[in-house]
Amino acid sequence: MPGAVSGAGPLAGLRVVELAGIGPAPYACLLLAEMGAAVVRVDRPGGGRSFAEWHRLLDRGRHRTLELDLKTPEGAARLLREAAGADVLVEGFRPGVAERLGIGPGPCQARNPGLVYARMTGWGQDGPLAGTAGHDINYLALSGALHAVGEEGGPPVPPLNLLGDFAGGSMFLVAGVLAALYERRRTGRGRIVDAAVVDGAGSMLGMLVAMAGAGQWRYERGVNLLDGGAPFYRCYACADGRHLAVGALEEPFYRALLDGLGLDGRHLPDRWDRDSWPALRQRFAAAFARRDRDAWAARFAGTDACVTPVLTAAEAADHPHHRARRSGPATPAPRFRDPAAAPAAPPAGPVPPFEAGSRTAPAGRRTVTGRSRTPATTPPK
């Protein structure tokens, strides 16, 4: 087994080689880094990555970066040396590219049988679409997830790239990596992890499919319990044009909602009668339109009505709850507490970088020739 690297977090000692890409793979490596893994990112010479500016936050926490031209024998050989000293390698190329470069799972695991070789794609490593280009919206479309999101009578609405790239992609990749590492403790051998956004998104549809099978979900947008169709589970516009999110599913929460709105349930339609939902939505919409968003938020604060303001990302960063938890896009997640009631510790500092073979090297960015660059832990200005 590869030797240990000192550091903080439950994954301290874990070495990860990341072949720089976009979207789900960088975010997965960020999560591994925030849990203590030492991640070395391998870049193309001169950068050359699509949407590089978008990835500044996702790229934080790397302990060393290399510039390697993997199309050259020298670059491929250096990558194989890095993989020989690693626990995990993460790549997001189209299927077959790594093999053509000579850095696929075969040669990597021949040098390091315990290596977990993690592959992140949209369509997966096989199947008719495996070699086809695509983005989050395409994977969601084919998974069935995109069809479910949107207003009644309107077109499907892409839920940013959160549901596909990051939930269906990154999270499933991390789960696969951790499962393979756990198995390696017993077998001593690594695994090939084939994570595909289309698979992950489809897996998360399990409850919706079960509801449909039970006759409790219709394959139409905006008419169901959890897609904005229910008057007590949707967003409403306020007097200032901003919005509130309402999630009063359970009866006590629904009663608290009516109390906050000043409505008498005896004079309202049965909320479980779907035919009455349009009329009930109109009543709620008229009530919420009487005040500004923050006035309603203050009114419902401290209640169990399940009413919250819909915040922008900038507003969310300044919300008292996030300030108290020191949470946000730049905060590690999940957190680990021992004992459970202890306050969250601040994010741990970087662990020392690793070098295949020697396991030691100065932290920072390096080319294949060793020329120093900007330290990986400092985001570009």
Q: What is the pLDDT along the chain (381 residues), one digit of tens a residue?
A: 333 333 589 999 999 999 999 889 999 999 999 999 999 999 999 866 666 677 777 888 887 889 999 999 999 999 999 999 999 999 999 999 999 999 999 999 999 999 999 999 999 999 999 999 999 999 999 999 999 999 999 999 999 999 999 999 999 999 999 999 999 999 999 999 999 999 999 999 999 999 999 999 999 999 999 999 999 999 999 999 999 999 999 999 999 999 999 999 999 999 999 999 999 999 999 999 999 999 999 999 999 999 999 999 999 999 999 999 988 766 666 766 555 433 344 344 433 333 433 333 333 333 333 332 333 333 333
Query: Which residues is 307 bridged to in the sheet?
Result: 246
307-309 vs 192-196, strand pairing mode: unpaired
Q: Which residues contact 139 (CB under 8 A, 6 or more apart)?
A: 122, 123, 164, 168, 196, 197, 198, 201
Q: What is the dihedral of CA 142, 136, 47, 117, to 10 degrees?
A: -60
Q: Which of these is catalytic: 59, 136, 165, 199?
A: 165
Residue 36 has φ and ψ, to the nearest 5°, of 115, -10
Residue 38 main-chain phi, psi, to 5 deg: -90, 115
Domain ranges of the chain: 15-204+349-373, 233-325
Asked if 165 is an active-site residue, the reply is yes
How many angstroms separate the Cα of 183 from the Cα of each of 114, 115, 132? 10, 12, 32
Q: Hey, what are 3's tokens?
A: 């030797």
Q: What is the pTM of this model?
A: 0.83
Across 124-154, b (16+ Cβ under 10 Å) vs e yields beeeebeeeebebebbbbbbebbebbbeeee
Neighbours of 230 (CB within 10 A): 21
> Which residues make Cβ contacts (< 8 Å) with residue 369, sequence separation at least 6?
none
Provide φ and ψ at 234, rounded to 5°. -165, 180
- Please give the sequence-ordered ranges of beta strands (E in DSSP) within the chain, or none if there are none: 15-19, 38-43, 64-67, 88-91, 116-121, 192-196, 233-237, 243-247, 307-309, 364-367, 372-373
Catalytic residue selected from 69, 135, 304, 319: 135
User: Could you check whether 15-204+349-373 and 233-325 share the same CATH topology?
Assistant: no
To the question of domain 233-325 being in CATH 3.30.1540.10, the answer is yes
- What's the CATH number for 15-204+349-373? 3.40.50.10540
Identify the residue whose tokens are 């905060």. 331
